């Protein structure tokens, strides 16, 4: 995805509020999106349960002769009931709500028609015409679009239902693959690796640092810079792998 294809998308369409079942717009575009409220509800529930569990742990820690964080536990346990439990559950639910909204912001929405495919994630949108797409691929947790020559043109982490994604791409006339046909072509990157074009090693070094610091935005931009040099990058844990389409 190059810079000309990425644009700000500050007003997501209401289709992103649908559940994971594909919906169809009036122009025949099928929209697949994660259910935002299901994720938020799950996070809120987990946060509330976590808050309640913390109160139990605090009571238990105060009974031990020595325990890590015993001072904060005693302070927490000194709060009278039911204020302690109610407050802990409320704080946990609030934190869960925050995490849930972050998850909604980070989730992927895909719009597929016979003419083009559009990815919407965070505040960015990338649109690709049908003739540019040789294949749509599932690569572990990533949804990948490959050009006819094998060059990667888009890669986004997806929490969508893969069978729905595969069926929708196929129904709109795209080739689908459940595994990356070029996966065996990837080589593990180490600093100074041979075979890379000029400047690619420095970008991979910078990207490794960005990923170590959890700077996802910078890592994403560096991936796009590497694509401009003709280098496709695949992540596996903290490791980076690369290939150059033949």
Domain, as residue range, for 63: 36-105
What pLDDT, on the 0 to 100 scale, is given for residue 45? 82
Counting beta carbons within 10 angstroms of the beta carbon of residue 145, is it exposed (0 to 12), middle (13 to 18) or buried (19 or more)?
buried
Where does a domain end: 50, 83, 105?
105
Half-sphere exposure of 141 (CA within 13 A, CB side): 8
Q: Tell whether 61 is covered by a domain.
A: yes
Where does a domain end: 68, 90, 105?
105
Q: Tell whether 208 is covered by a domain.
A: yes
Q: Tell whether 22 is covered by a domain.
A: no
Ramachandran sector of residue 68 (left: φ over 0; alpha: ψ -120 to 50; beta: rest): beta
Q: Is residue 143 within a helix (H) or strand (E), and if so which, with residue range?
A: strand 142-146
Please report the beta strands in 11-121, taking only residues with DSSP state E, as ranges in sequence order. 23-24, 30-33, 109-112, 116-121
pLDDT single digits (tens) 9-28: 333 333 333 334 455 554 68
Q: Tell whether 215 is covered by a domain.
A: yes
Q: Tell whether 95 is covered by a domain.
A: yes
Question: Does 94 lie in the same domain as 41?
Answer: yes
Q: Which residues in the chain come in under a pLDDT of 50?
A: 1-21, 26, 101
Question: Does 239 lie in the same domain as 201?
Answer: yes
What pLDDT, on the 0 to 100 scale, is given for residue 54? 79
Question: Does 199 lie in the same domain as 171?
Answer: no
Where does a domain end: 105, 132, 154?
105
Question: Does 190 lie in the same domain as 160?
Answer: no
What pLDDT, on the 0 to 100 scale, is given for residue 227? 96
Question: Does 88 lie in the same domain as 43?
Answer: yes
What pLDDT, on the 0 to 100 scale, is given for residue 58? 72
Question: Does 188 lie in the same domain as 173?
Answer: no
What pLDDT, on the 0 to 100 scale, is given for residue 178? 96
Question: Can you give the pTM of this predicted structure?
Answer: 0.67
Question: Does 234 lie in the same domain as 202?
Answer: yes
Q: Tell whether 2 is covered by a domain.
A: no
Question: Does 220 lie in the same domain as 194?
Answer: yes
Residue 23 to residue 25: CA distance in whole angstroms: 7
Q: Tell whether 28 is covered by a domain.
A: no
What pLDDT, on the 0 to 100 scale, is given for residue 67? 65
What pLDDT, on the 0 to 100 scale, is given for residue 14? 31
What pLDDT, on the 0 to 100 scale, is given for residue 35? 62
Contact between 241 and 190 under an 8 Å Cβ cutoff? The reply is no
Reference 152, options 173, 123, 113, 126; nearest CA is 126
What pLDDT, on the 0 to 100 scale, is given for residue 13? 36
Residue 33 to residue 23: CA distance in whole angstroms: 9
Question: Does 142 lie in the same domain as 197?
Answer: no
What pLDDT, on the 0 to 100 scale, is given for residue 204? 97
How many domains are contained in the chain?
A: 3
Question: Does 176 lie in the same domain as 140?
Answer: yes
What pLDDT, on the 0 to 100 scale, is given for residue 2? 42
Q: Tell whether 125 is covered by a domain.
A: yes
């Amino acid at each position: 995805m190059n810079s000309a294809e990425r644009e700000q998308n500050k007003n997501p369409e209401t289709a992103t509020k649908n559940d994971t079942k594909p919906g169809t717009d009036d122009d025949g575009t099928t929209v697949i999106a994660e259910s935002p409220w299901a994720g938020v509800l799950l996070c809120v529930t987990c946060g509330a349960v976590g808050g309640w569990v913390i109160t139990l742990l605090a009571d238990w820690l105060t009974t031990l002769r020595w325990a890590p964080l015993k001072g904060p536990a005693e302070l927490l346990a000194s709060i009278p009931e039911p204020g302690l439990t109610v407050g802990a559950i409320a704080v946990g639910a609030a934190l869960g709500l925050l995490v849930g909204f972050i998850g909604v912001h980070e989730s992927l929405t895909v719009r597929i028609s016979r003419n083009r495919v559009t990815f919407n994630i965070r505040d960015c949108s990338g649109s690709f015409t049908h003739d540019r797409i040789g294949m749509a691929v599932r690569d572990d947790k990533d949804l990948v679009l490959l050009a006819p020559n094998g060059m990667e043109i888009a890669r986004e982490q997806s929490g969508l239902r893969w069978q729905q994604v595969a069926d929708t791409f196929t129904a709109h006339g795209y080739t689908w693959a459940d595994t990356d046909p070029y996966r065996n072509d990837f080589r593990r990157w180490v600093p100074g690796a041979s075979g890379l074009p000029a400047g690619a090693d420095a970008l991979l070094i910078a990207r490794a640092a960005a990923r170590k610091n959890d700077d996802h935005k910078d890592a994403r931009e560096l991936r796009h810079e590497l694509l401009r040099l003709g280098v496709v990058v695949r992540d596996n844990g903290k490791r980076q792998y690369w290939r150059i389409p033949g």
